[in-house]
Amino acid sequence: MKFSVLAVGMATDPQVLDPGSTAWMLTASALVLLMTPGLAFFYGGLVRMKSVLNIMMMSFGAMGVVGVVWALWGYGLAFGPDALGGFVGDPFTNFGLSGLTTSIGSKAAGLPDMIFVGFQATFAIITVALISGAVAERVRFGPWLLFAALWVTLVYAPIAHWVWGGGIFGPTGIIGSKISALDFAGGTVVHMNAGIAGLMLAVVLGKRLGFMKDPNIRPHNLPFVMLGAGLLWFGWFGFNAGSELAADATAALAWTNTLLATSAALLGWLLVERLRDGHATSLGAASGAVAGLVAVTPACGFIDPIGAILIGVIAGAVCALAVGLKFKIGLDDSLDVVAVHFVGGLWGTLALGFFALPSTKTAGGLFYGGGLAQFWPQILTALIVTAWSAAMTTLIGFAIHKSIGMRVSEADELSGIDVTEHAETAYELLMVGGSFHPGDPHARTDAAEAHATAHAGTPAGTQAEVPAGTKAEAEGEAVRGRVSS
């Protein structure tokens, strides 16, 4: 990602609005936002029927909390002027986005600052949402929202500042001035970060009841997974090509590489499945596509199309092999966030050491004449991001879990988190019985109490003799009376 671009031969003033690039970034930002509902479908299909609404709400909850936090202080922490030696941005300068509503070109030539803010907000949102897959089907909704706010503040914003905000990995930062790592659209900031955070949160919260025993813990709706993967792929063109922050040739390169790596990764995953398990599965196609999207994210603007295909096919194969690891160590990374996002993001980040094209930013990767010069900065950045995210996520997770509690009760987990956390069910399976009390949220409780009171006076053993019709009619009267009053 770059923040000031002057087209060669044109003495363009970065403060003058570039309509073409602005139009593209308005569009790209909307595309990236769509990825989060897409992720909700992707994850939603992977969980059990009784948890689909909750996992989708973890994504939608992130859209709510992170959007607001981003405007208040998140953007400043990530992209404000250096504070604490480039460790974070100053959140006070632009608190509530003050001073940014009409300015142009502070972060990217010709772009209104507000669309840079919006574009970056969509990245923060999906990064938080990605974590939810590792702890699916067992987290209380309120504490999850608190986690989202704390995590984007203490983990995402600092790392975004280091890598993209001119912080410690920036050209003048304490690390960036000595070595320069490449991350076009967020292999470290988004995917490795979310992947390792998911792993640590899964360690803190523990596994689901029945993990590795209950045969019903398996995807309940693969068409949802395919739909989600399709929406993610579509939105990812905004994510990757938009990270150029301009409508130019590099954006076009990033776009096509996002297509090619994903195509190749889909095939790579299916090939592993066909050889290992005997069948190419729809879940494998969806998962392979996402693995390819993840891996090409850091690389898409820095590689050629053949590089993209190679990075993709390896990403698909490696991630397909990595999903089995959780069963070996007994870690319930429920929806394979680690195997897809951490492993895929790590591979894409390291792959730049082999496949990067020579440019003003790098001497090129190993296969393009640059030796291993680009490889070491890639590893170092990956390690630092991983260490910070792992440590801080563990801290935040423990703090919430040991204070207000982050897991639902065992009884609620067994009966289904959709009903107990949200008072909803995704699917109407048996449409008989029940009653309906429009506009009166207490009616159900009142009716239950009235029922209990009525029966309290009935001697035990005589209840069965009450004609069923009489009882139902009496309750019907009570309900009608309440509605008309």
Partner 1 sequence: MKLVTAIVRPERVAAVSAALERAGVNGLTVSQASGYGRQRGHTEVYRGAEYSSDLLPKVRLEVLVDEGALGAVMAAIEEGGRTGRFGDGKIWIIEVRDAVRVRTGERGASAIA
Phi-psi label, residue 369: left if phi above 0, alpha if psi -120 to 50, beta otherwise: left
Task: Return the bridge partners of 89, or none.
Answer: 82
H helix runs in 47-156, sequence order: 52-69, 75-79, 113-131, 141-151
Measured from the CB atom, the residue of 341 and 401 that comes closer to partner 1 is 341
Q: Which residues are at the interface with partner 1 (CB under 8 A)?
A: 215, 218-219, 273, 276-279, 281, 283-284, 287, 320, 323-324, 327, 336
Measured from the CB atom, the residue of 218 and 455 that comes closer to partner 1 is 218
Smallest distance, partner 1 to C-beta of residue 208, A: 14
- Phi and psi torsions of 163, nearest 5°: -85, -40
Question: Are the beta carbons of 71 and 97 closer than 8 angstroms?
Answer: yes
Q: Which of 289, 312, 303 is nearest to 378 (CA)?
A: 303
Query: What six digits make up the tokens of 35?
Result: 């990825």
CA torsion through residues 86, 92, 93, 99, sign: positive
Smallest distance, partner 1 to C-beta of residue 317, A: 12
Smallest distance, partner 1 to C-beta of residue 215, A: 5
Measured from the CB atom, the residue of 324 and 369 that comes closer to partner 1 is 324
Question: Are the beta carbons of 61 and 145 closer than 8 angstroms?
Answer: yes
User: What is the CA 39 to chain-centroid distance, rounded?
Assistant: 7
For residue 407, the 8-state DSSP code is: B
In sequence order, the 6+-apart residues with CB closer than 8 A to the CB of 4 are 14, 108, 109
- Phi and psi torsions of 457, nearest 5°: -85, -5
Q: Element (H or E) spanning 347, and its range?
A: helix 343-355
Smallest distance, partner 1 to C-beta of residue 284, A: 7
CA torsion through residues 410, 416, 418, 422, sign: negative
Smallest distance, partner 1 to C-beta of residue 213, A: 12
Phi-psi label, residue 344: left if phi above 0, alpha if psi -120 to 50, beta otherwise: alpha
Measured CA to CA, the distance from residue 135 to residue 147 in angstroms comes to 12
Measured from the CB atom, the residue of 278 and 457 that comes closer to partner 1 is 278
Measured from the CB atom, the residue of 117 and 291 that comes closer to partner 1 is 291
Amino acid identity of residue 428, one-letter, is E
Smallest distance, partner 1 to C-beta of residue 278, A: 8
Task: Return the bridge partners of 311, or none.
Answer: none
Q: Element (H or E) spanning 473, and its range?
A: helix 468-484
Smallest distance, partner 1 to C-beta of residue 293, A: 17
Smallest distance, partner 1 to C-beta of residue 41, A: 17
Question: Are the beta carbons of 217 and 210 closer than 8 angstroms?
Answer: yes
Measured from the CB atom, the residue of 160 and 335 that comes closer to partner 1 is 335
Amino acid identity of residue 160, one-letter, is A
Query: What six digits make up the tokens of 429?
Result: 């399976």
Measured from the CB atom, the residue of 83 and 321 that comes closer to partner 1 is 321
Smallest distance, partner 1 to C-beta of residue 216, A: 9
Smallest distance, partner 1 to C-beta of residue 83, A: 43
In sequence order, the 6+-apart residues with CB closer than 8 A to the CB of 204 are 394, 397, 398, 401, 406
